[in-house]
Amino acid sequence: MASDDKTVSAESGKTLQTIYNLWPYMWPADRMDLKMRVVWATFYLLLSKIILLSVPYFFKWSTDALNGRMDAVGLLPTFMLGALMLVIAYNVARLVQWGLNQLRDAMFASVGQYAVRQLAFKTFVHLHRLSLRFHLERRTGGLSRVIERGTKGIETIVRFTILNTFPTLIEFVLTAAIFWWGYGFSYLGVTAFTVWIYIWFTIRASDWRINIRRDMNDSDTDANTKAIDSLLNFETVKYFGNEDMEARRFDQSMARYEKSATQVWTSLGWLNFGQGVIFGIGTLVMLVMSALAVQNGTQTIGDFVFINAMLLQLSVPLNFIGFVYREIRQGLTDIEQMFDLLEVDAEIEDAPDAKELVVAKGAISFRDVHFSYDPARQILKGISFDVPAGHTVAVVGPSGAGKSTISRLLYRFYDVQKGSITIDGQDVRGVTQKSLRSAIGMVPQDTVLFNDTIAYNIRYGRPSATEAEVEQAAEIAQIGKFIDSLPEGYKSMVGERGLKLSGGEKQRVAIARTILKSPPILILDEATSALDTHTEQEIQSALDVVSKNRTTLVIAHRLSTVVNADEIIVLKDGGIAERGKHADLLEHNGLYAQMWSRQREASEAEEKLKKVREEDDLGVIDRRAPAAE
């Protein structure tokens, strides 16, 4: 029992914290116009409540008038005129009350949508502020689902919190006062007890349903994540013929969702049934009391009708309180993950006194740099080297030696744990991230393009670039002729992640994008390692043009791409094993020479195989001849 109390206490604390986080969006400090809309919407709601409470009176008086009890009405001189006017007043009051509710909703619409937009925007910006580590550990499909559900829950919570909860409490108080004043304490007691039991049952049942809702959300997120992950890897699925396996994985997640969703709707049915039973019993007791009073002559038929009408009107906010509570709790459940995202601290932050990076020459210096993704496995162990302004330095080594980590540290996706990285003497931790990254251009190994036009992807390097500048960058990157050959030219769509383009074409787009950015510092992170030898040579010539007169750091797997580097750094086990020019390292006959020899043998074998295939295609080889002994 104590454990349940602690759970309820923790849930209540989290609910209050979420409502506190929502308050700036419910009452925006910098938008007086929206505040006034909230005020006017609240005014219209209160006015509609007052008019709503007058409706049963008109019903009572018209009933008594039609029953010949004008003494009970005492308002109008004649029977027919009195009854007719009261019926008209009854319907006019209902119409005015309905109109005020619509006016309230219209006034509040912009407030709710403002809250949705602002919180969604804040979450989107925050996700881009978070570290690379966070995004490598999270699934994109799950994140998108969290944001989607969260934004849908915001308007519901904002609307119900401001415009319904407080005015509904006022309606309860006024209704209870009318029963006490007009019919005595017994009617007040039955009303209060019914409302209390109704609210108690609603809250307990809704709390029970929240856990079911969470299970449904989790299974929905899991199914959506699997679907997006599978579709993003469409080609891989086809390569291995695993469509059935992907379908089974997705169906298993949807089966969980089906079960949870069924429980959500079933539990809602039981909740509504319980609410109906509680309110039905309370209504029965009060109507029996009124019927007995009518038989005793202490009440009129109009009083009986009035009490029934008041109870029917009371059932609406009562049922609405249950609906409001359910919607708010479910909305809080939907958006609590969004607020959890907002509470995740960015791993890399600008220092309070961070300044803009000033690049005079572009000289890079690594000094005693230590780094690890996991404390149990050190990646870099005291790396020190320089990339002089305008020079090209290559970093090579076996897989896992820490080559790509160097580029990530320079971009400040992570911070060094010991040592320093400077550009023209300025520590990268002491400058703003925006100014640092605007000074560096990157051509990565795996170029991922936006699902938009080729022009959009090239212009991404500098969004303000003109069409002529985009085309010039494409020409320098040696992709201009290819683009011109397409039916839609620069307006051609590249597809999801650029899948409509070949590897070489995507790399050329990445090069053109970097040319357009025109940074003083360039990083080539294994930019040609995924390409065939012929394409690599073509891309390399374009890279040579881009890197000319720029400070260039080359992270390379294929050593043939770095033979002209001013210096080659050979990494092994997180440290520098060798360094020097290509010819010097070959003469040294160490690790670099071994790597060069292995790659050259592999390249020669590839060329021989290619030649054999070409001769086979031309019919030079006679496959009927016996094999040589």
**pLDDT in the model for residue 611:** 65
Position 543 pLDDT exceeds 60: yes
Using pLDDT thresholds of 50, 70 and 90, give the confidence band for residue 625: very low
Instruction: Determine the angle formed by the axes of helices 2-26 and 140-160, rounding to 10 degrees.
Output: 80
Mean pLDDT of the chain: 78
**Residue 47 to residues 108, 237, 282: CA-CA distances in angstroms?**
16, 61, 28
Q: For 81, what's the count of Cα atoms within 13 Å in the CB-facing half-sphere?
A: 5
Q: How far, in Å, CA of 546 to CA of 476, rounded?
A: 8
**pLDDT in the model for residue 610:** 64
- Phi and psi at residue 359, in whole multiples of 5°? -100, 105
- Phi and psi at residue 583, in whole multiples of 5°? -65, -40
Position 10 pLDDT exceeds 50: no
Q: What is the pLDDT of residues 242-277, one digit of tens each?
A: 788 888 888 888 888 888 788 778 877 887 888 888
Residues of the chain with CATH 1.20.1560.10: 18-343
Burial degree of 287 (CB within 10 A; 0-12, 13-18, 19+): middle
Contact between residue 426 and residue 358 where contact means Cβ atoms under 8 Å apart: yes
Pick from 420, 398, 387: which is nearest to 574 by CA?
398
Position 627 pLDDT exceeds 60: no
Q: How far, in Å, CA of 327 to CA of 432, rounded?
A: 43
Position 421 pLDDT exceeds 90: yes
Contact between residue 304 and residue 291 where contact means Cβ atoms under 8 Å apart: yes
Q: What is the pLDDT of residues 29-83, one digit of tens each?
A: 788 888 888 888 878 888 887 887 777 777 677 776 666 655 544 444 444 445 6
Q: Please state which architecture CATH assigns to domain 18-343.
A: Up-down Bundle (1.20)
Pick from 306, 304, 315: which is nearest to 281 by CA?
315
What residues have CB less than 8 Å from 141, skipping those under 6 apart? 221, 224, 225, 226, 227, 228, 229
**pLDDT in the model for residue 532:** 62
**pLDDT in the model for residue 150:** 76
- Phi and psi at residue 367, in whole multiples of 5°? -125, 110
**pLDDT in the model for residue 82:** 57
Residues of the chain with CATH 3.40.50.300: 364-439+519-615
**pLDDT in the model for residue 130:** 78
Most confident of 205-209, 368-372, 396-400: 368-372
Which of 52-61, 430-439, 450-459, 612-621 is least confident? 612-621
Query: What is the percent of the chain where pLDDT is above 70?
Result: 81
Q: How far, in Å, CA of 203 to CA of 167, rounded?
A: 19
**Residue 431 to residues 147, 354, 383, 405: CA-CA distances in angstroms?**
31, 5, 22, 20
**Residue 267 to residues 17, 207, 257, 276: CA-CA distances in angstroms?**
27, 11, 15, 14
**pLDDT in the model for residue 613:** 62
What residues have CB less than 8 Å from 201, skipping those under 6 apart? 274, 275, 278
Query: For residue 556, which amino acid is it?
Result: A
**pLDDT in the model for residue 427:** 92
Q: How far, in Å, CA of 171 to CA of 174, rounded?
A: 5
Stronger pLDDT, 430 or 153, i.e. the higher one: 430
Using pLDDT thresholds of 50, 70 and 90, give the confidence band for residue 422: very high
Position 328 pLDDT exceeds 90: no
Position 595 pLDDT exceeds 60: yes
Q: For 353, what's the count of Cα atoms within 13 Å in the CB-facing half-sphere?
A: 1
Stronger pLDDT, 113 or 582, i.e. the higher one: 582
Which of 175-189, 487-501, 520-534 is least confident? 520-534
Using pLDDT thresholds of 50, 70 and 90, give the confidence band for residue 367: very high
Mean pLDDT of 571-581: 89
**Residue 367 to residues 301, 396, 401, 425, 572: CA-CA distances in angstroms?**
95, 18, 18, 11, 17
Contact between residue 585 and residue 592 where contact means Cβ atoms under 8 Å apart: yes
- Phi and psi at residue 199, in whole multiples of 5°? -65, -40
Q: What is the pTM of this model?
A: 0.64
Contact between residue 626 and residue 427 where contact means Cβ atoms under 8 Å apart: no
Q: How far, in Å, CA of 107 to CA of 113, rounded?
A: 12
Using pLDDT thresholds of 50, 70 and 90, give the confidence band for residue 481: confident
Kindly provide the b/e burial profile for residues 464-483, where b requires at least 16 CB atoms within 10 angstroms of the residue's own CB.
Answer: ebeeebbbbbbebbbbbebb
Position 200 pLDDT exceeds 90: no
Q: Dihedral of the CA atoms 337, 339, 341, 345 (nearest 10)?
A: -150
Position 475 pLDDT exceeds 70: yes
Is the domain spanning 364-439+519-615 CATH 3.90.230.10? The answer is: no
Mean pLDDT of 107-128: 80
